[in-house]
Chain A
């Protein structure tokens, strides 16, 4: 189920503006990789190139190579739609579809992609995904109510269930807890720990304690100044990054001396 990602010489642009420069990294399967760094350093931008969401913005494009188990996501003829089916994503703010019930939200990916499945099979998939997102017990009696009736933390877990119902190879999370209260955050962090047994997980976070708590590997991004492209400064095991980083900038950031 989970695959390894390898980025080679990746440059990311918004029209003429180069937002991220020359990223090379390997993201291991069945592990949590965290991206940290100050605002505007390009960590979210880079995350969005991993499932080709970056190019949704008009004028945005990517140069370089990103391999998913050896297959180039940006190779000729590759359909971004197929990439996104393999690489799921959870956003900063929970965004369940307001016109759909809880169950329809979970099954949205399947239904909208014409994956024909019988009613019982659909029920099974929905239950499995909701259980996977630790939400089943809370919603099993109101599957047909609108998803927007849930609390913020529940909505975010619904969005995670929606993403894992597609059985992706990789799960990208863009600051998934930034809009949540501490208790919901804890629930999501526990969930991430469980999910990493099955998926490759990449998480962007502003919260360094969170990175330290949930990730196995941490990548630190930084920018030299406004208008400069962001760069990958250092990437290593989380333990190493938070105890003995090799680059001074990383140490400054982690110890709170800037950013």
Chain B
């Protein structure tokens, strides 16, 4: 089939039949530059100003249409469709970068002003207008996520051990797997409502404190830890377990000393990534841990501020003038982004660097 279509072209272009009938390589950059010019010119003519968004959108449109038409006439229908698909796919990727770049840039430019020592050393107690900081919120975040970790890591790890090492095929294990799946789908605000309802029943209606926030976050964190740990334990080769049993090592010690150490870097990375996910949670903490403007380091009594809630609070309830409040909100947002990015980076590095060295 392909030889039949190639043969006539060979006579048309004696140099090389395999490169014949293609747009030359310089087409893409040239058309790209031209489309940019046309696009921005059109945007200017339409609105009377140089709009970045509109300009890029129009340029992209022009580029797609021109390239498609050019390819259609020179390369034929199938090639043109292929080219269009390629351009769209690349375009989608670039499109997704826009919000990422925009969010990072705005957070950086707006947040950098207040990223000063005061921001990290003072709370909002008795602060009206400028000044103040997020010290109370940072402490709160550290304490609440710390407690949440202390709750979820043991439960999550041991459950994963049960699923991977003890449960195989048992009905209990199957139901746990099912309900862990259910738990992964719990909306974060529902976790907050749960903690609020639980503490209301246990300690009197309206009880709001750091522990409540930690419980809410645990509900979100446990399934993530279980899932990632179980997956890693299952990757540990069975040969190692057998080697250990054959040395007369009891099962629990085999798990503790052979299986878990082999998978430990992945497990740690999984916990860190789970932590990165919950540390930015706002809604459940608003409901279960409440708001406060002062430093509270006791998770069992009184409302406790956290960084995401601080950002929301500064944004949603500004005083007059609003700018200092909004500046603090952005500084908080920037801090949060930096923490989350750092956790993500560390998690991925650990996962990559200390991957178990199995086999040769």
- Asked if the two chains touch in their complex, CB atoms less than 8 Å apart, one says yes
The smallest C-beta distance from A257 to any residue of chain B, in angstroms, reads 34
Q: Is there contact, CB below 8 Å, between A152 and B360?
A: yes
Contacts of A146 in B (CB 8 A): 357
Answer yes or no: B245 CB below 8 A from chain A CBs: yes
Using known A-B contacts A97-B240, A97-B258, A98-B358, determine if residue A53 contacts B247 with beta carbons closer than 8 Å. no
Q: Mark A148-159, 1 if CB is under 8 A from B, else 0.
A: 100110010001
Q: A58-B168, A98-B358, A148-B357 are in contact. Are A112 and B244 (CB under 8 A)?
A: yes
Q: Are B245 and A84 in contact (CB under 8 A)?
A: yes
| Cβ A97 vs Cβ B169 within 8 A | no
Residue of A nearest to B358 (CB): A98
CB contact list, A130-187 vs B, under 8 A:
146, 148, 151-152, 155, 159, 162-163, 166
B257 at the interface (CB under 8 A from A): yes
Knowing A98-B356, A146-B357, say if A159 contacts B243 (CB, 8 Å): yes
Chain A 85-106 against B: per-residue CB contact (8 Å), 1 yes, 0 no? 1101101010111110000000
Is B357's CB under 8 angstroms from A163's CB?
A: no
Query: Quick one: which of A58, A91, A95, A113 contacts B169, CB cutoff 8 A?
Result: A58
B262 at the interface (CB under 8 A from A): yes
Verify if A51 is at the interface (C-beta below 8 Å from B).
yes
Contacts of A152 in B (CB 8 A): 360
- Residue A108, interface by CB 8 Å: yes
Q: Which residue of A lies closest to B248 (CB)?
A: A85
User: What's the nearest-Cβ distance from chain A to residue B270, in Å?
Assistant: 18
Tell yes or no: A82 within 8 A of B by CB: yes
B357 near A51 with CB under 8 A, answer: no
The reply to whether A95 and B237 contact each other, CB–CB distance below 8 Å, is yes
Convert B155-199 into 0s and 1s, putting 1 for each residue whose CB lies closer than 8 angstroms to a CB of A. Answer: 000000000000011000000000000000000000000000000
Identify which of residues 217-273 in chain B touch chain A, using a CB-to-CB cut-off of 8 Å. 237, 239-250, 253-254, 257-258, 261-262
Measured between C-beta atoms, what is the minimum distance from A159 to chain B in Å?
Answer: 7
- Complex: chain A residue closest to B257, CB-CB: A112
- Specify which chain A residues have a CB less than 8 angstroms from the CB of B168 in the assembled complex: 58
Write the chain A residue with the least CB distance to B247: A109
Rounded to whole Å, the gap between the CB of B233 and the closest CB of chain A is: 14
The interface residues of chain B lying within 8 Å CB-to-CB of A148 are 357-360
Q: For the side of the interface on A, what is the size category?
A: 20 to 34
How long is the Cα–Cα vector from A111 to B283 in the complex, in angstroms?
49
- Residues from chain A with a CB closer than 8 A to the CB of B257 are 112
Q: Is the CB of B250 within 8 A of A81?
A: yes
Minimal beta-carbon separation of B318 from chain A (angstroms): 54
Find the A residue at minimum CB distance from B356: A98
User: Closest approach, in angstroms, between the C-beta of B229 and any C-beta of chain A?
Assistant: 17
Contact of B253 among A112, A155, A166 (CB under 8 A): A112
C-alpha gap A91/B356 in the complex (Å): 21
**Which A212-250 residues have C-beta < 8 A from chain B?**
none
A100 vs B348: C-alpha distance when bound (angstroms): 23
Report which of B243, B250, B358, B360 forms a contact with A91, defined as CB distance below 8 A: B243
Q: Are A109 and B356 in contact (CB under 8 A)?
A: no
Q: Is B248's CB under 8 angstroms from A166's CB? A: yes
Give complex CA distance A87, B49 in Å.
86
Given contacts A58-B168, A112-B253, A148-B357, contact A95 B242 (CB under 8 A): yes
**Could you tell me the distance in whole angstroms from the C-beta of B261 to the nearest C-beta in chain A?**
4
In the complex, the answer to whether A82 meets B242 with C-beta atoms within 8 Å is no
Q: Is the CB of B358 within 8 A of A112?
A: no
Whether A84 and B246, one on each chain, are in contact in the complex, defined by CB atoms closer than 8 angstroms, is yes
> A99: which of B242, B249, B261 is its contact (CB, 8 Å)?
B261
The interface residues of chain A lying within 8 Å CB-to-CB of B262 are: 97-99
Q: A97-B240, A112-B257 are in contact. Are A163 and B356 (CB under 8 A)?
A: no
Write the chain A residue with the least CB distance to B253: A112
Q: A95-B237, A146-B357, A148-B358 are in contact. Are A53 and B248 (CB under 8 A)?
A: no
CA separation between A91 and B237, bound complex, in Å? 13
Closest-by-CB residue of A relative to B237 is A95
Whether the pair A53, B242 counts as a contact (CB closer than 8 A) is: yes
Instruction: Let me know if A93 and B239 touch, CB within 8 A.
Output: yes
What's the minimum C-beta distance from B169 to chain A, rounded to whole angstroms? 7
Query: Knowing A81-B250, A152-B360 touch, does A56 contact B245 (C-beta < 8 A)?
Result: yes
Contact B244–A88 (Cβ < 8 Å)? no
Tell whether, in the assembled complex, residue B246 and residue A163 are in contact, meaning their CB atoms are under 8 Å apart.
yes
25 example contacts (A-B, Cβ-Cβ < 8 A) are as follows A56-B245, A81-B249, A83-B248, A88-B246, A89-B246, A93-B239, A95-B242, A95-B243, A96-B243, A97-B243, A97-B258, A97-B262, A98-B262, A98-B358, A99-B261, A99-B356, A108-B244, A109-B248, A112-B249, A112-B254, A113-B248, A152-B360, A163-B246, A163-B247, A166-B248
> Across chains A and B, which 5 residue pairs bring their CB atoms closest together, nearest first?
A85-B248, A109-B247, A89-B246, A95-B239, A84-B248
List residues of chain B with CB under 8 Å of any chain A CB.
168-169, 237, 239-250, 253-254, 257-258, 261-262, 356-360
Other A-B pairs, 18, CB within 8 Å; known A93-B239, A95-B237, A112-B244 = A53-B242, A53-B245, A53-B246, A81-B249, A81-B250, A85-B247, A88-B246, A89-B246, A91-B242, A91-B246, A95-B240, A98-B240, A109-B247, A109-B249, A148-B360, A151-B360, A162-B247, A166-B247
